[in-house]
């Protein structure tokens, strides 16, 4: 299993909008993607920092999801809510409980 972590910095006054958009738009779109396993959004209300963590069955699924334009489309939904451009990293899930 692989995890894609997107680190975001949201405008503090738009954090609730970002959370709602993630729940109502990003999660349903992710569920339609091949190899999708799960997704979490972690936020710090004091700073506006967020971590979006998506889990994929395989590295190939995570890569295909990127090549299809899905990831860029989801990030684009937040362009007016970001205080700074997001950063993305991919990890292999080495241990799971």
What is the structure's pLDDT at 70?
93
What is the structure's pLDDT at 41?
99
CATH for 27: 3.30.70.100
Question: What's the pTM value of the predicted model, to 2 decimals?
Answer: 0.93
What is the structure's pLDDT at 18?
98
The residue range of the domain holding 62 is: 2-92
| Count of structural domains, the chain | 1
List per-residue pLDDT tens for the chain, 97 residues long. 999 999 999 999 999 999 999 999 999 999 999 999 999 999 999 999 999 999 999 999 999 988 999 999 999 999 999 999 999 999 999 999 9
In a domain, residue 84? The reply is yes
In a domain, residue 54? The reply is yes
In a domain, residue 25? The reply is yes
* The residue count for the chain: 97
What is the structure's pLDDT at 43?
98
In a domain, residue 12? The reply is yes
In a domain, residue 97? The reply is no
In a domain, residue 48? The reply is yes
């Amino acid at each position: 299993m692989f995890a894609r972590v997107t680190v975001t910095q949201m405008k503090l006054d738009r954090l609730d909008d970002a959370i709602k958009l993630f729940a109502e738009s990003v999660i349903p779109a992710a569920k339609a993607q091949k190899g999708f396993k799960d997704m979490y959004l972690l936020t710090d209300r004091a700073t506006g920092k967020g971590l979006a963590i998506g889990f994929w069955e395989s590295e190939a699924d995570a890569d295909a999801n990127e090549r299809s334009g899905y990831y860029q489309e989801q990030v684009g939904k937040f362009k007016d809510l970001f205080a700074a451009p997001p950063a993305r990293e991919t990890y292999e899930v080495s241990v799971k409980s």
